[in-house]
Chains A and B, each alone.
Chain A
């Protein structure tokens, strides 16, 4: 199985431009609900309307840019197979950290995140990953919690 998929840059840019048009619609719908004030006393809604104009220009320019690139046949690649699994694992670990931090707290969460990433990316034994995860968690604890005093959540499971 190939571990890369090639995507046309031109088509991707056209899709990005189209997505910006949708974003423009939502943004403008919200912006026109804001008080614009008068020209000599501008309200909080005036500048967003100006920004909405820039967004639609950006969308049109990007679509046009994509259309002019169609002939160039330029591509970029995205991961498939094992590289995709690795990429998703790193994103999943970060999501897990965000979800677990308020619950499992400032010690267990970094430990689990480091362990998950090293187990996915490393070919070494799980004991090796486990020991290194403990060491790196201790390093994070000492630097950010003890030395710099950053108030990370203690969590509800264990209060340390």
Chain B
């Protein structure tokens, strides 16, 4: 099945009534999650994960993908209107977006960001549609050693480039791998690190760990700095239309942001956040109006928004083609597949084309829905901000507990939620990154499987991990990224122009 045939096949799947509803629900929930404080896309997707088990696998996965890219649309709304970005990728958008609000151009800023998100998301889906099947075909020749290199190496790279010092990502990664080894081991059925308790036989389930580390920790941050939110300005229907100049200045940044976002999405790490910063930096370098950036320039909102949506969408490539989650939301989508008995990986395209093409085409549909719903419904999204924070916190705590409990119907998971909330809170306070912990917890059993399979196939010869040309190439790329990242960082701070700026 080529990409076009796949597209029409996926169109049939995605336009099925339940899948259309799932895309709509995901898009709406994602926007709400992006607008509201206290829940990010990761915790939002984790909350719906147990609910997805009640439906067909495609329904759940389409809904989770919708939450992820929907939150990118919603995250910018609060940043533009009240200078409080809903999500990390919208931090950059808030710089010029809020300045536009102060100039009375809030409506135009909201319209331009919604279109930027649409352009980024839609163009990126086209890339995903053509690139994923090719990568999937290539990955069919991968053996255990190659997959070990991809998973273990990818995790190492994620821990290195996810932000902060090396320890900031490496320590959470080690914690995640440790938690992944707890419970009954898949091959021999041996109970590991359970200390004789029945509760630990299941191991640490992804849902309570994710909701705790992201959702509960975020709630603790919110309570820690508790204050009523500033009132958002009213935006009338007429104000939503940008001027001709604003339209003209937005086109090129949409294109540049989309390309940057698509490329960043293919890499492990917080690609949506990194791509929005990179897109802003590019505008600072190449835009004709670069001197206006920071004072309410349309380029400052269009490029980052197109980039973060393109990255959120293109991160589906490693997920669908290789079965590798390089983000926390990706890890949840892999978990959703595995619970429903679907084997993620290169064979997904052959064994479950409905899932593969259904998710891709639903992204087109979801992006159209978001564009149609977001701009006219901006008043409703703004109204969400008037919900008092204490009700929101109480509701999130109860829903999070129900979500954690419902995976195994076990109270133990609510205690895990509480524990991970505290751990996540302190790790974030100290500047550690949480994504490597989540991805390591998900990838741990997969890494172990390929590690043991490779040793078994090579009759115990560890040289197998470096023997094949593909494995060697993957390790070389990983080595280059591991060494290259600190070198680039050093060069950026040590070059004479950077030193001059610091001195000024």
What residues on B are CB-neighbors of A27 within 8 Å?
Answer: 178, 193
A76 touches B459 (CB 8 A): no
Interface residue? B247 (CB, 8 A): no
| Partner among A47, A55, A83, A93 whose Cβ is within 8 Å of the Cβ of B226 | A83
In A25-54, which residues have CB < 8 Å from any B CB?
27, 30-31, 34-35, 38-48, 50-51, 54
> Are B451 and A50 in contact, CB atoms less than 8 angstroms apart?
yes
The answer to whether B181 and A51 touch across the interface, beta carbons within 8 angstroms, is yes
Contact A65:B455 (CB < 8 A) given known A90-B223, A117-B394: no
| Interface status of A121 (Cβ within 8 A of chain B) | yes
A30 CB, nearest partner CB in chain B, Å:
5
- A residues near B456, Cβ cutoff 8 Å: 40-42
Using a CB-CB cutoff of 8 Å, which residues 456-473 of chain B contact chain A?
Answer: 456, 458-462
Tell me the minimal C-beta distance from A97 to chain B in angstroms.
5
Residues 378-433 of B contacting A (Cβ, < 8 Å): 388-391, 393-395, 397-399, 401-402, 405-406, 409, 411, 414-415, 417-418, 421-422, 429-431
Give complex CA distance A57, B177 in Å.
Answer: 13
Q: Return the contact of B398 from the options A43, A95, A113 (Cβ within 8 A).
A: A113
Which residues of chain B from 162 to 212 have a CB within 8 Å of any chain A CB? Answer: 165-168, 170-171, 173-175, 177-178, 181, 185, 187-188, 190, 192-193
Contact pattern, A 1-37, Cβ under 8 Å of B = 1, otherwise 0: 0000000010011001100100100010011001100
- Distance between B103 CB and nearest chain A CB, rounded to angstroms: 34
CB-defined contacts of A13 to chain B, threshold 8 Å = 167, 430
Residues of A contacting B175 with CB < 8 Å?
A: 58
A70 at the B interface (CB under 8 A): no
Which of A12, A40, A58, A94 contacts B174, CB < 8 Å?
A58
Question: Within the complex, which residue of A20, A45, A57, A94 is in contact with B418, where a contact is CB–CB below 8 Å?
Answer: A94
How many A residues are at the interface, by size bracket? 35 or more
Residue in chain A with minimal CB distance to B221: A87
Q: Check A44 against B190 for contact (C-beta < 8 Å).
A: yes
| A150 CB, nearest partner CB in chain B, Å | 5
Q: How far is the CA of A97 from the CA of B409 in the complex (A)?
A: 15
B504 on the A face (CB < 8 A): no
Q: CA of A46 to CA of B185 in the docked complex: distance in angstroms?
A: 12
User: Does A86 contact B223, Cβ atoms closer than 8 Å?
Assistant: yes
Question: Do A94 and B216 contact each other (CB < 8 Å), given the known contacts A83-B223, A101-B414, A114-B394?
Answer: yes
Binary flags per residue of A78-109, CB closer than 8 Å to B gives 1, else 0: 11000100110011011101100110000000
Closest chain-A Cβ to B486's Cβ sits at a distance in Å of 13
Known interface pairs A42-B455, A148-B51. Does A78 touch B171 (Cβ–Cβ under 8 Å)?
no
* Chain B residues whose C-beta falls within 8 Å of the C-beta of A114 in the assembled complex: 394-395, 398
The verdict on A125 contacting chain B, using a C-beta distance below 8 Å, is no
In the assembled complex, which residues on chain B have CB atoms less than 8 Å from the CB atom of A153?
411
- Residue from B185, B430, B455 within 8 A of A16 (CB atoms): B430
A98-B414 contact given A13-B430, A91-B421, A132-B391, CB 8 Å threshold: yes
A79, B394: Cβ atoms under 8 Å? no
B181 near A91 (CB under 8 angstroms)? no
Q: Is A136 an interface residue (CB 8 A)?
A: yes
CB contacts (< 8 Å) of B177 on chain A: these are 51, 54-55
How many angstroms between the C-alpha atoms of A61 and B398 in the bound complex?
38
Q: Closest Cβ of chain B: how far from A149's Cβ, in Å?
A: 7
Contact (A117, B397) CB under 8 Å given A58-B173, A150-B406: yes
Neighbouring A residues of B187 by C-beta, 8 Å: 44
Residues of B433-451 at the interface with A, using a CB-CB cut-off of 8 Å, are 444, 447-448, 451
With CB as the reference atom, state the residue of chain A lying closest to B212: A94
Whether A87 lies near B174 (C-beta < 8 A) is no
Is B95 positioned at the interface, with any CB of A under 8 Å from its CB? no
The 8 Å CB contact of A98, one of B165, B170, B220, B418, is B418
**A122 at interface (Cβ–Cβ under 8 A)?**
yes
Is B1 an interface residue, CB under 8 A from the partner? no
A94/B395 contact (C-beta < 8 A), A20-B171, A86-B223 known: no
A87→B422 CA distance, assembly (Å): 11
Q: Is the CB of B388 within 8 A of A46?
A: no
Given A30-B193, A61-B167, A122-B390 contact (CB < 8 Å) = yes
Q: Which A residues are closer than 8 A to B by beta carbons?
A: 9, 12-13, 16-17, 20, 23, 27, 30-31, 34-35, 38-48, 50-51, 54-55, 57-59, 61-62, 64-65, 76, 78-79, 83, 86-87, 90-91, 93-95, 97-98, 101-102, 110, 113-114, 117-118, 121-122, 132-133, 136, 139-140, 144, 148-153
Nearest 6 pairs of A and B residues by beta carbon: A39-B460, A40-B460, A58-B174, A121-B390, A65-B167, A117-B394
Chain B residues proximal to chain A, CB less than 8 Å: 50-51, 54, 165-168, 170-171, 173-175, 177-178, 181, 185, 187-188, 190, 192-193, 216, 219-220, 223-226, 388-391, 393-395, 397-399, 401-402, 405-406, 409, 411, 414-415, 417-418, 421-422, 429-431, 444, 447-448, 451-452, 455-456, 458-462
Q: Can you sample 5 A-B contacts with CB below 8 Å?
A: A12-B430, A20-B174, A42-B456, A79-B224, A136-B391
